[in-house]
């Protein structure tokens, strides 16, 4: 039974193909027609109740199968109409009698109206929307990938969830690409229905008059009913499927179904209901208008709108009262704080420096304050936990506080008391990241996304769905703020690794490898030098989670080398699997390489000074390197990937120090730091 269910679709398709060949009795034809109408109605209802198009991702395939099913029924009904003198089953006969009501012209006009509405209105619109949606979905993919990376970096999602979201984006692109082609099937089906109807009628006339010897009036009486009935039982399911197609391609992602969204959005506009009711009331003055019907609808709209408006005003007054209470409480807190600082001993608390601090204006308090529903603190906790699991460093607690010195929409991020980043957030807006080639511009306030420097717009809530349709990646204000904070913290993480934290890491390792720690500190290296090595790794984004390997490599390297930079390079080689996992994407790695002659020039220009070895390239060569590198880095930014430069181990450190002030977000790796099973794709080459 299970195997039968697993192959049910294949069995159904084979049966549909048999419909094209095997004649059906009127009884079986009635069953097939009823099934066709039922399936079409089910598909329409599903399309109205899904919350996002991917919940019905099989729709393009279902569209093809139902179209093939309809063609099979049409062929069977045509065979019966032409061979059985218009007898094609009870459903077709009943539909023809009901619509025609003894008048062939009226029935034909009704049939044509249904076909033309489907072909010129619904199918045409759905086809255009599907084309645009497919193009916008592809254009928005890089921005969506960056949004996933941002959520992953802030700790909002884990690696598994990030993979699921990337898979969903790929499915979304495939779905809209399929829908672009599927709408062509709907369009062709509408045209085919007209042709089949014409064939039924003309063929019936020829067969009735030539072969059966029927008169013209008899032919019209018999074949007009069958033809119109057959056309209607075919076109009604086709119309339902076309409507479902239009609903799916125009459906934006939502937390609720179409029915719930429609009810909520109409209820949010009570004034529109009241004005419409007033207009209908004015129409009562027009002579000849039906007073009872107009009056009833007008009264219902005005009463309904008034009730909704009254309820909304009550909620607004309640929110305003709560805001006044909150402002009064904050004022009391400020007075109490001022009173406490009259004691000189309390002033000493002001001179301490927080490792990480975030100050924000008054308008941003609802995003942070838990009592106001703010989720900032919860998401920071998630970020700190995930960063510790990924990088091996526990980020210090982040101090959050409001500041009257800032603009109401502004926030500032400080590391050890000094400002390192700032931005502005519009709380009641969404940030829309522009796709590479937007098909249409959307109205909004131009800005720059603070974390990655992407051109963006602040858009109002009512434009969110339209922006997503145009291919923009839309981000809520809290995520913008948290992404900026997390990226800033990750960029300055090496500054947060103080001596005390190093001691904690070492003490934690004593529980796992006491002999290793005893051999390393202080016999081989001091806490200070160990801190410098870990700082070197963190500065270039290398995880320090595998402390056992790091400690063992330090012990082994210290037998022959005392230079901390050289020891760090040896550690990086020992951590090649960790480095490969961090920078590799699906078994391959896109990189920028250095020309062999350039590497030779770098090696020959290394000069030893009082403070160690440094690079002494000529200004002309350095300028050429920076110019070429700018062009190559732009290619990576365009595809939403972090730029990686691959060099030999000899020049890696020196090349990194040369470019870090110009390209702080570029990673420099050596060939020895990459696992052997990784495919290297050189997308650029820097020459002398």
Q: Is 139 contained in some domain?
A: no
Please list, in sequence order, all residues whose beta carbon lies within 8 angstroms of the beta carbon of residue 596, skipping any fewer than 6 positions away. none
Residues 616 and 675 in one domain: yes
pLDDT of 262 reads 73
Structure token digits, residue 169: 């984006």
Residues 531 and 411 in one domain: no
Q: Is 521 contained in some domain?
A: yes
pLDDT of 547 reads 92
Residue 511 DSSP SS3: coil
pLDDT of 375 reads 82
Please list, in sequence order, all residues whose beta carbon lies within 8 angstroms of the beta carbon of residue 443, skipping any fewer than 6 positions away. 457, 459, 463
CATH code where residue 529 lies: 1.10.8.540
DSSP notation for 225-267: HHHHHHHHHHHHHHHHHHHHHHHHHHPPP-SS-HHHHHHHHHH
Residues 479 and 459 in one domain: yes
In this structure, what DSSP letter does residue 403 have?
-
Residues 312 and 368 in one domain: no
State the residue range of the domain holding 639.
585-688
pLDDT of 228 reads 76
Residues 252 and 190 in one domain: yes
Q: Is 164 contained in some domain?
A: no
Q: Is 335 contained in some domain?
A: no
Give yes or no for a contact between 554 and 567, defined as CB atoms under 8 angstroms apart: yes
CATH code where residue 665 lies: 3.40.50.12790
DSSP notation for 416-462: TTEEEEEEE--TTEEEEEPPSS-SS----EEEE-TTT--EEEEEEGG
pLDDT of 299 reads 87
User: pLDDT tens across 565-623, in order?
Assistant: 899 999 999 999 999 888 887 778 889 999 988 888 888 888 877 666 777 888 888 88
Q: Is 171 contained in some domain?
A: no
Residues 451 and 359 in one domain: yes
Q: Which residues pair with 682 in a beta bridge?
A: 591
Give yes or no for a contact between 53 and 248, defined as CB atoms under 8 angstroms apart: yes
pTM of the predicted protein model: 0.56
pLDDT of 619 reads 84
Residues 57 and 109 in one domain: yes
Q: Is 500 contained in some domain?
A: no
Weakly modelled stretches of the chain, pLDDT under 50:
none
Contacts 24+ apart (CB under 8 A), 580-585: 580/673, 580/674, 580/675, 580/678, 582/541, 582/542, 582/543, 583/642, 583/644, 583/667, 583/669, 584/675, 584/678, 585/641
d(C-alpha 383, C-alpha 400), whole Å: 15
pLDDT of 373 reads 73
Count of domains forming the chain: 5
């Amino acid at each position: 039974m299970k195997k039968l269910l697993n192959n049910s679709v294949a069995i159904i398709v084979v049966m549909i193909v048999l419909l094209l060949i095997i004649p059906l009795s009127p009884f079986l034809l009635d069953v097939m027609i009823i099934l066709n109408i039922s399936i079409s109605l089910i598909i329409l209802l599903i399309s109205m109740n899904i919350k996002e198009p991917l919940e019905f991702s099989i729709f393009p395939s279902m569209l093809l199968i139902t179209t093939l099913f309809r063609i099979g029924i049409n062929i069977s009904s045509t065979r019966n109409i032409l061979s059985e003198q218009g007898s094609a089953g009870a459903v077709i006969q009943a539909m023809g009698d009901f619509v025609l009501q003894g008048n062939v012209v009226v029935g034909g006009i009704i049939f044509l109206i249904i076909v033309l509405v489907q072909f010129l209105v619904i199918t045409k619109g759905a086809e255009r929307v599907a084309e645009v949606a497919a193009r916008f979905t592809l254009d928005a993919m890089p921005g969506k990938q960056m949004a996933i990376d941002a959520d992953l970096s802030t700790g909002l999602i884990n690696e598994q969830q990030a993979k699921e979201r990337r898979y969903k984006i790929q499915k979304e692109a495939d779905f809209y690409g399929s829908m672009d082609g599927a709408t062509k099937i709907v369009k062709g089906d509408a045209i085919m229905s007209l042709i089949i109807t014409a064939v039924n009628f003309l063929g019936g006339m020829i067969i009735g008059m030539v072969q059966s010897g029927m008169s013209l009036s008899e032919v019209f009486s018999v074949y007009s009913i069958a033809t119109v009935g057959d056309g209607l039982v075919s076109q009604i399911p086709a119309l339902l499927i076309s409507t479902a197609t239009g609903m799916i391609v125009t459906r934006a992602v939502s937390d609720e179904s179409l029915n719930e969204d429609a009810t909520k959005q109409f209820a949010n506009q009570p004034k529109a209901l009241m004005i419409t009711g007033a207009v209908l009331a004015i129409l009562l003055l027009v002579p000849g208008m039906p007073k009872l019907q107009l009056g009833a609808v007008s009264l219902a709209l005005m009463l309904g709108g008034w009730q909704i408006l009254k309820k909304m005003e009550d909620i607004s007054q309640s929110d305003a009262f709560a805001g006044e209470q909150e402002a009064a409480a904050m004022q009391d807190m400020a007075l109490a704080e001022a009173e406490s600082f009259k004691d000189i001993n309390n002033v000493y608390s002001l001179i301490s420096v927080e490792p990480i601090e975030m100050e924000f204006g008054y308008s941003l308090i609802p995003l942070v304050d838990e009592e106001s529903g703010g989720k900032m603190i919860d998401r920071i906790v998630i970020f700190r936990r995930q960063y510790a699991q990924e990088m091996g460093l526990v980020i210090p607690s982040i101090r959050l506080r409001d500041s009257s010195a800032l603009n109401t929409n502004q926030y500032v991020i400080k590391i050890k008391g000094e400002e390192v980043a700032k931005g502005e957030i519009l709380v009641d807006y969404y940030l829309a990241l522009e796709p590479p080639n937007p098909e249409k511009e959307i109205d909004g306030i131009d800005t720059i996304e603070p974390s990655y420097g992407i051109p963006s717009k602040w858009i109002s809530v009512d434009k969110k769905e339209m922006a997503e349709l145009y291919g923009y990646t839309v981000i809520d204000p809290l995520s913008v703020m948290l992404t900026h904070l997390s990226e800033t913290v990750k960029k300055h993480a090496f500054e947060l690794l103080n001596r005390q934290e190093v001691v904690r890491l070492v003490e934690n390792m004593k529980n796992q490898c006491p002999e290793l720690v005893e051999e390393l500190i202080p016999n081989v290296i001091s806490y200070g030098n160990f801190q410098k090595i870990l700082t070197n790794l963190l500065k270039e984004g290398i995880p320090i989670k595998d402390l056992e390997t790091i400690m063992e490599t330090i012990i082994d390297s210290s037998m022959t080398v005392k230079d901390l930079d050289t020891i760090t390079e040896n550690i990086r080689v020992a951590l090649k699997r960790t480095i490969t996992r961090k920078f590799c994407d699906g078994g391959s790695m896109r990189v920028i390489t250095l020309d062999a002659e350039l590497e030779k020039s770098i090696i020959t220009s290394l000069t030893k000074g009082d403070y160690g070895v440094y690079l002494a390239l000529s200004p002309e060569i350095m300028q050429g390197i920076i110019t070429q590198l700018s062009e190559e880095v732009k290619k990576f930014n365009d595809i939403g990937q972090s730029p990686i430069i691959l060099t030999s181990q000899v020049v890696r450190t020196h090349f990194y120090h040369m470019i870090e002030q110009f390209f702080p977000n570029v990673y420099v790796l050596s060939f020895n730091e990459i696992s052997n099973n990784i495919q290297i794709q050189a997308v650029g080459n820097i020459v002398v």
